[in-house]
Chains A and B, each alone.
Chain A
Amino acid sequence: MARVVVDVRLKSEILDPQGRAVQGALGRLGLAGVTNVRQGKQFVIDIDGELDEAASAKLHEIAGNLLSNPVIEDYELTVEQA
Protein backbone atom coordinates (compact mmCIF):
# COMPACT_ATOMS: atom_id res chain seq x y z
CA MET A 1 0.00 0.00 0.00
CA ALA A 2 1.11 3.54 -0.68
CA ARG A 3 0.19 6.58 1.35
CA VAL A 4 0.24 9.93 -0.43
CA VAL A 5 0.11 13.11 1.62
CA VAL A 6 -0.81 16.38 -0.07
CA ASP A 7 -0.35 19.62 1.88
CA VAL A 8 -2.11 22.67 0.50
CA ARG A 9 -1.18 26.19 1.55
CA LEU A 10 -2.40 29.62 0.53
CA LYS A 11 0.24 31.52 -1.42
CA SER A 12 2.03 33.99 0.81
CA GLU A 13 0.59 37.05 -0.94
CA ILE A 14 -3.03 35.90 -0.40
CA LEU A 15 -4.75 37.18 2.73
CA ASP A 16 -5.73 34.34 5.11
CA PRO A 17 -8.70 35.54 7.22
CA GLN A 18 -8.93 32.18 9.04
CA GLY A 19 -5.26 32.32 9.98
CA ARG A 20 -5.85 35.88 11.18
CA ALA A 21 -8.70 34.67 13.44
CA VAL A 22 -6.50 31.90 14.90
CA GLN A 23 -3.72 34.42 15.48
CA GLY A 24 -6.13 36.56 17.48
CA ALA A 25 -7.19 33.56 19.56
CA LEU A 26 -3.57 32.62 20.31
CA GLY A 27 -3.01 36.08 21.76
CA ARG A 28 -6.13 35.78 23.91
CA LEU A 29 -4.89 32.39 25.18
CA GLY A 30 -1.75 34.04 26.45
CA LEU A 31 0.75 33.08 23.75
CA ALA A 32 2.71 36.26 23.21
CA GLY A 33 4.77 37.25 20.21
CA VAL A 34 2.82 35.44 17.46
CA THR A 35 3.55 37.44 14.31
CA ASN A 36 1.65 35.35 11.75
CA VAL A 37 -0.57 32.25 11.39
CA ARG A 38 -1.42 30.61 8.07
CA GLN A 39 -4.02 27.85 7.90
CA GLY A 40 -3.69 25.04 5.35
CA LYS A 41 -5.20 21.68 4.46
CA GLN A 42 -3.81 18.16 4.42
CA PHE A 43 -5.10 15.27 2.33
CA VAL A 44 -4.03 11.72 3.22
CA ILE A 45 -4.68 9.36 0.33
CA ASP A 46 -4.18 5.60 0.68
CA ILE A 47 -3.77 3.59 -2.51
CA ASP A 48 -3.64 -0.20 -3.05
CA GLY A 49 -0.39 -1.63 -4.37
CA GLU A 50 2.76 0.12 -5.52
CA LEU A 51 2.55 3.67 -6.85
CA ASP A 52 3.70 3.56 -10.47
CA GLU A 53 4.75 6.52 -12.58
CA ALA A 54 1.37 6.93 -14.27
CA ALA A 55 -0.46 6.99 -10.94
CA SER A 56 2.07 9.43 -9.55
CA ALA A 57 1.59 11.77 -12.51
CA LYS A 58 -2.19 11.52 -12.10
CA LEU A 59 -1.89 12.37 -8.41
CA HIS A 60 0.15 15.49 -9.20
CA GLU A 61 -2.48 16.52 -11.74
CA ILE A 62 -5.25 16.08 -9.17
CA ALA A 63 -3.25 17.85 -6.44
CA GLY A 64 -2.69 20.82 -8.75
CA ASN A 65 -6.20 21.02 -10.20
CA LEU A 66 -8.70 19.74 -7.67
CA LEU A 67 -7.08 19.64 -4.23
CA SER A 68 -5.50 23.07 -4.72
CA ASN A 69 -6.41 26.11 -6.78
CA PRO A 70 -3.20 27.25 -8.51
CA VAL A 71 -4.44 30.85 -8.53
CA ILE A 72 -4.28 31.15 -4.74
CA GLU A 73 -2.63 27.98 -3.39
CA ASP A 74 0.52 25.86 -3.59
CA TYR A 75 0.68 22.15 -2.86
CA GLU A 76 3.37 19.78 -1.66
CA LEU A 77 3.02 16.06 -2.38
CA THR A 78 4.94 13.39 -0.49
CA VAL A 79 4.73 9.61 -0.91
CA GLU A 80 5.14 7.24 2.01
CA GLN A 81 5.42 3.65 0.75
CA ALA A 82 4.22 1.29 3.47
Chain B
Amino acid sequence: MSAQGARIGVVTFPGSLDDRDAARAVRLAGAEPVALWHADHDLKSVDAVVLPGGFSYGDYLRCGAIARFAPVMQEIIAAANQGLPVLGICNGFQILCESHLLPGALIRNDHRHFVCRDQALQITNNTSMWTSDFELNEEIVVPLKNGEGGYVASDAVLDELEGEGRVIARYLGVNPNGSYRDIAGITNARGNVVGLMPHPEHAVEPLTGPTTDGLGFFTSVLSSLLQGAAR
Protein backbone atom coordinates (compact mmCIF):
# COMPACT_ATOMS: atom_id res chain seq x y z
CA MET B 1 0.00 0.00 0.00
CA SER B 2 1.31 3.48 -0.80
CA ALA B 3 0.53 6.56 1.28
CA GLN B 4 -1.50 7.80 -1.68
CA GLY B 5 -3.70 4.75 -1.40
CA ALA B 6 -4.37 5.06 2.33
CA ARG B 7 -8.00 5.66 3.24
CA ILE B 8 -8.69 7.47 6.51
CA GLY B 9 -12.20 7.57 7.91
CA VAL B 10 -13.59 10.68 9.58
CA VAL B 11 -16.68 10.09 11.70
CA THR B 12 -19.57 12.54 11.73
CA PHE B 13 -21.76 12.47 14.84
CA PRO B 14 -24.77 14.76 15.32
CA GLY B 15 -23.00 17.88 16.58
CA SER B 16 -19.55 17.21 15.11
CA LEU B 17 -17.94 20.48 13.96
CA ASP B 18 -14.47 19.70 12.69
CA ASP B 19 -15.13 16.70 10.48
CA ARG B 20 -14.64 18.75 7.29
CA ASP B 21 -11.36 20.24 8.50
CA ALA B 22 -10.18 16.78 9.57
CA ALA B 23 -11.05 15.39 6.12
CA ARG B 24 -9.17 18.29 4.52
CA ALA B 25 -6.12 17.63 6.70
CA VAL B 26 -6.20 13.97 5.67
CA ARG B 27 -6.26 15.02 1.99
CA LEU B 28 -3.43 17.55 2.41
CA ALA B 29 -1.35 14.84 4.12
CA GLY B 30 -1.74 12.73 0.98
CA ALA B 31 -4.46 10.24 1.89
CA GLU B 32 -8.07 9.80 0.88
CA PRO B 33 -10.63 10.93 3.47
CA VAL B 34 -13.66 8.64 3.85
CA ALA B 35 -16.81 9.94 5.53
CA LEU B 36 -18.12 7.60 8.26
CA TRP B 37 -21.59 8.01 9.77
CA HIS B 38 -22.33 7.60 13.47
CA ALA B 39 -25.41 5.44 12.91
CA ASP B 40 -23.73 2.87 10.63
CA HIS B 41 -22.03 -0.34 11.73
CA ASP B 42 -19.63 0.23 8.84
CA LEU B 43 -15.98 1.35 8.76
CA LYS B 44 -15.83 1.05 4.92
CA SER B 45 -12.52 -0.85 5.17
CA VAL B 46 -10.56 2.29 6.14
CA ASP B 47 -6.92 2.08 7.25
CA ALA B 48 -7.33 4.55 10.14
CA VAL B 49 -10.04 6.65 11.80
CA VAL B 50 -10.23 10.24 13.04
CA LEU B 51 -12.85 11.20 15.65
CA PRO B 52 -13.20 14.95 15.10
CA GLY B 53 -13.92 17.81 17.47
CA GLY B 54 -17.29 19.32 18.18
CA PHE B 55 -20.19 18.69 20.50
CA SER B 56 -21.46 15.20 19.70
CA TYR B 57 -25.05 14.75 20.89
CA GLY B 58 -24.91 18.30 22.25
CA ASP B 59 -22.46 17.24 24.97
CA TYR B 60 -25.56 16.02 26.85
CA LEU B 61 -24.93 13.91 29.97
CA ARG B 62 -21.13 14.23 29.67
CA CYS B 63 -18.96 15.11 26.66
CA GLY B 64 -18.63 11.96 24.57
CA ALA B 65 -20.81 9.83 26.87
CA ILE B 66 -23.58 9.21 24.33
CA ALA B 67 -21.31 9.06 21.28
CA ARG B 68 -19.54 6.14 22.93
CA PHE B 69 -22.65 4.01 22.38
CA ALA B 70 -23.16 5.02 18.72
CA PRO B 71 -23.23 2.07 16.29
CA VAL B 72 -20.04 3.18 14.52
CA MET B 73 -18.21 3.31 17.87
CA GLN B 74 -18.89 -0.39 18.48
CA GLU B 75 -16.95 -1.12 15.27
CA ILE B 76 -14.20 1.39 16.12
CA ILE B 77 -13.71 0.04 19.66
CA ALA B 78 -13.36 -3.52 18.34
CA ALA B 79 -11.02 -2.48 15.51
CA ALA B 80 -8.89 -0.24 17.77
CA ASN B 81 -8.38 -3.18 20.10
CA GLN B 82 -7.09 -5.09 17.03
CA GLY B 83 -4.62 -2.29 16.21
CA LEU B 84 -6.54 0.10 13.90
CA PRO B 85 -5.01 3.59 14.24
CA VAL B 86 -7.52 5.98 15.83
CA LEU B 87 -6.96 9.69 16.53
CA GLY B 88 -9.47 11.51 18.73
CA ILE B 89 -9.24 15.29 18.66
CA CYS B 90 -10.95 17.37 21.38
CA ASN B 91 -14.46 15.87 21.51
CA GLY B 92 -12.90 12.80 19.88
CA PHE B 93 -10.47 12.57 22.83
CA GLN B 94 -13.44 12.79 25.20
CA ILE B 95 -15.16 9.96 23.28
CA LEU B 96 -12.02 7.78 23.48
CA CYS B 97 -11.86 8.28 27.26
CA GLU B 98 -15.57 7.55 27.66
CA SER B 99 -15.06 4.41 25.54
CA HIS B 100 -12.21 3.34 27.87
CA LEU B 101 -9.87 3.09 24.87
CA LEU B 102 -7.81 5.66 26.76
CA PRO B 103 -7.59 6.10 30.55
CA GLY B 104 -8.74 9.16 32.50
CA ALA B 105 -11.40 11.74 31.70
CA LEU B 106 -11.80 15.33 30.56
CA ILE B 107 -13.63 17.78 32.78
CA ARG B 108 -14.59 21.45 32.66
CA ASN B 109 -11.64 23.85 32.47
CA ASP B 110 -10.52 24.77 35.99
CA HIS B 111 -10.93 28.51 35.28
CA ARG B 112 -14.47 27.83 33.88
CA HIS B 113 -13.94 29.83 30.68
CA PHE B 114 -13.96 28.52 27.14
CA VAL B 115 -10.41 28.87 25.80
CA CYS B 116 -9.60 29.55 22.13
CA ARG B 117 -6.03 30.37 21.16
CA ASP B 118 -2.90 29.24 19.39
CA GLN B 119 -1.20 26.87 21.79
CA ALA B 120 2.43 25.85 22.07
CA LEU B 121 2.94 22.13 22.70
CA GLN B 122 5.90 19.87 23.28
CA ILE B 123 5.78 16.50 21.54
CA THR B 124 6.90 14.03 24.21
CA ASN B 125 6.41 10.74 22.34
CA ASN B 126 7.41 10.11 18.73
CA THR B 127 6.76 6.40 18.67
CA SER B 128 2.96 6.34 18.54
CA MET B 129 1.34 5.80 15.13
CA TRP B 130 0.17 9.43 15.08
CA THR B 131 3.37 11.17 16.27
CA SER B 132 6.19 9.22 14.58
CA ASP B 133 7.05 12.01 12.08
CA PHE B 134 7.86 14.48 14.88
CA GLU B 135 11.20 14.94 16.61
CA LEU B 136 11.18 14.05 20.29
CA ASN B 137 10.64 17.24 22.37
CA GLU B 138 9.79 19.20 19.20
CA GLU B 139 7.78 22.34 19.93
CA ILE B 140 4.74 22.98 17.78
CA VAL B 141 1.89 25.51 17.74
CA VAL B 142 -1.69 24.51 16.91
CA PRO B 143 -5.10 25.96 17.85
CA LEU B 144 -6.72 24.97 21.13
CA LYS B 145 -10.45 25.53 21.70
CA ASN B 146 -12.32 23.83 24.49
CA GLY B 147 -14.59 24.31 27.47
CA GLU B 148 -14.05 20.87 28.95
CA GLY B 149 -10.43 20.10 28.25
CA GLY B 150 -9.07 19.47 31.72
CA TYR B 151 -7.41 16.05 31.62
CA VAL B 152 -7.79 14.19 34.92
CA ALA B 153 -6.82 10.72 36.12
CA SER B 154 -5.67 9.12 39.34
CA ASP B 155 -2.05 9.57 40.39
CA ALA B 156 -1.45 5.88 39.70
CA VAL B 157 -2.70 6.24 36.11
CA LEU B 158 -0.72 9.45 35.58
CA ASP B 159 2.45 7.77 36.89
CA GLU B 160 1.86 4.82 34.57
CA LEU B 161 1.30 7.08 31.54
CA GLU B 162 4.50 9.01 32.28
CA GLY B 163 6.49 5.90 33.16
CA GLU B 164 5.57 4.21 29.88
CA GLY B 165 6.15 7.33 27.78
CA ARG B 166 2.48 7.50 26.83
CA VAL B 167 2.05 11.25 27.29
CA ILE B 168 2.37 12.33 23.64
CA ALA B 169 2.13 16.12 24.10
CA ARG B 170 2.24 18.64 26.93
CA TYR B 171 1.15 22.26 27.12
CA LEU B 172 3.98 24.77 27.17
CA GLY B 173 3.64 28.03 29.10
CA VAL B 174 0.53 28.65 31.17
CA ASN B 175 -1.62 25.54 31.54
CA PRO B 176 -4.74 26.48 29.50
CA ASN B 177 -7.37 24.28 31.15
CA GLY B 178 -6.13 22.73 34.38
CA SER B 179 -5.03 19.44 32.83
CA TYR B 180 -3.11 17.38 35.35
CA ARG B 181 0.64 17.46 34.71
CA ASP B 182 0.09 19.74 31.67
CA ILE B 183 -1.08 16.75 29.62
CA ALA B 184 -2.43 17.70 26.17
CA GLY B 185 -2.53 14.21 24.65
CA ILE B 186 -1.93 10.54 25.45
CA THR B 187 -1.72 7.19 23.70
CA ASN B 188 -2.64 3.63 24.60
CA ALA B 189 0.01 0.99 25.38
CA ARG B 190 0.04 -0.21 21.78
CA GLY B 191 0.49 3.30 20.36
CA ASN B 192 -2.33 3.06 17.82
CA VAL B 193 -4.95 5.07 19.74
CA VAL B 194 -4.14 8.73 20.43
CA GLY B 195 -6.27 11.39 22.12
CA LEU B 196 -5.38 15.06 21.80
CA MET B 197 -7.22 18.13 23.12
CA PRO B 198 -5.66 20.74 20.75
CA HIS B 199 -6.59 20.78 17.06
CA PRO B 200 -3.86 19.79 14.56
CA GLU B 201 -6.44 19.73 11.75
CA HIS B 202 -6.73 23.53 12.01
CA ALA B 203 -2.98 23.97 11.44
CA VAL B 204 -2.40 22.43 8.03
CA GLU B 205 -2.31 25.44 5.69
CA PRO B 206 -0.54 28.82 5.98
CA LEU B 207 -3.68 30.67 4.86
CA THR B 208 -5.94 29.50 7.69
CA GLY B 209 -3.70 28.16 10.45
CA PRO B 210 -1.05 29.68 12.72
CA THR B 211 1.41 27.05 11.40
CA THR B 212 1.34 23.85 9.39
CA ASP B 213 2.60 21.88 12.40
CA GLY B 214 -0.63 19.90 12.62
CA LEU B 215 0.08 18.03 9.40
CA GLY B 216 2.65 15.93 11.28
CA PHE B 217 -0.09 13.91 13.00
CA PHE B 218 -1.68 12.98 9.68
CA THR B 219 1.59 12.23 7.86
CA SER B 220 2.74 10.18 10.87
CA VAL B 221 -0.10 7.71 10.51
CA LEU B 222 0.64 7.34 6.80
CA SER B 223 4.31 6.58 7.61
CA SER B 224 3.20 4.12 10.30
CA LEU B 225 0.78 2.39 7.92
CA LEU B 226 3.51 2.10 5.26
CA GLN B 227 5.93 0.69 7.81
CA GLY B 228 3.29 -1.79 8.94
CA ALA B 229 2.63 -2.84 5.33
CA ALA B 230 6.36 -3.28 4.67
CA ARG B 231 6.83 -5.59 7.66
Interface residues of A (CB under 8 A from B): 13-15, 17-18, 20-21, 66-67, 69, 71-72
> Are A15 and B62 in contact (CB-based, < 8 A)?
no
How many pairs of A and B residues are in contact by the CB < 8 Å rule? 38
Task: Contacts A17-B108, A21-B112, A71-B104 known; list 17 others, CB within 8 Å.
Answer: A14-B152, A15-B107, A15-B110, A15-B178, A17-B107, A17-B109, A17-B150, A17-B178, A18-B108, A18-B112, A66-B61, A66-B66, A69-B62, A69-B65, A69-B98, A71-B103, A72-B152
Please state if B69 and A72 are interface contacts (CB–CB under 8 Å).
no
Q: What is the CB-to-nearest-CB distance from A64 to chain B, in angstroms, rounded to a whole number?
A: 12
20 A-B pairs within 8 Å (CB atoms) are namely A15-B150, A15-B178, A17-B107, A17-B109, A17-B111, A17-B150, A20-B112, A66-B61, A66-B65, A66-B66, A66-B69, A67-B61, A69-B62, A69-B98, A69-B105, A71-B103, A71-B152, A71-B153, A72-B107, A72-B152
Within 8 A of A (CB), among B16-49: none
Q: Chain B: interface residue count, which band?
A: 20 to 34
CB distance from A78 to the nearest CB of B (A): 20
Provide the bound-state CA to CA distance between A15 and B153, in Å: 11
The complex places the Cα of A72 from the Cα of B110 at a distance, in Å, of 15
Give the one of A17, A66, A67 with max B CB within 10 A.
A17
Compute how far the CA of A70 lies from the CA of B107 in the bound complex, rounded to whole angstroms: 13
- A28 shortest CB reach to chain B, Å: 15
Give the distance in Å from the alpha carbon of A20 to the alpha carbon of B109 in the complex: 12
Kindly report which residue of chain A lies nearest to residue B68, judged by CB atoms.
A66
Cα of A15 to Cα of B112 in the assembled complex, Å: 11
| Chain A: minimal CB distance from B106 (Å) | 9
